[in-house]
Amino acid sequence: MGTGQMLLVMLAVILFSSILISMYANIDGQARVIERTVTLLQGQKIADRFFQKIETELIGGVRTFSEINSDYTSFTTTVTVHGNTFNVTCERAEYCDQNGNTPVGTTDFQLIEFSMWTINSYQDSVVVGTPSDPLQKVFADMEL
């Protein structure tokens, strides 16, 4: 084998190895994006689970409308899903109008807001809802 052929073989090896390294880096980047998205969706489902629990307790008569307010004010807990521990905080539980505006003089509606965070397997902090922009829902007093 001549020097020119050996040089071409070396250049081909370098080219293909750089293509492989680039491909694996892109795959890893996409895996991070997918895991972050799945973690965000899990957080939204956790908040929805709490919202459904509150609705069920109100409709089923397990708790009164005023008990919901007192039970969820300063509420914090952790929920583990697929190895991710979500630190859940109820940012606000207060009376509001039908649009979620506070403060108001009526006690016919309540605004409940949740935020949470977790650390995923890539050691990234994933925040679902923030204290300044939480996941929220307005509940109506059905005993009117």
Instruction: Report DSSP state, residue 144.
Output: -
Residue 55 banded pLDDT, cuts 50, 70, 90: very high
Residue 62's identity, in one-letter code, is: V
Domain count across the chain:
1
Residue reference for tokens 């630190």? 87
Residues across the chain = 144
Domain of 79, in residue numbers: 3-140
Kindly tell me if the per-residue pLDDT of 96 is higher than 80: yes
The span from the CA of 119 to the CA of 84, in Å, is 7
The span from the CA of 144 to the CA of 108, in Å, is 8
The span from the CA of 51 to the CA of 113, in Å, is 9
Q: pTM to 2 decimals? A: 0.80
- The whole-number average pLDDT for the span 105-117 is 89
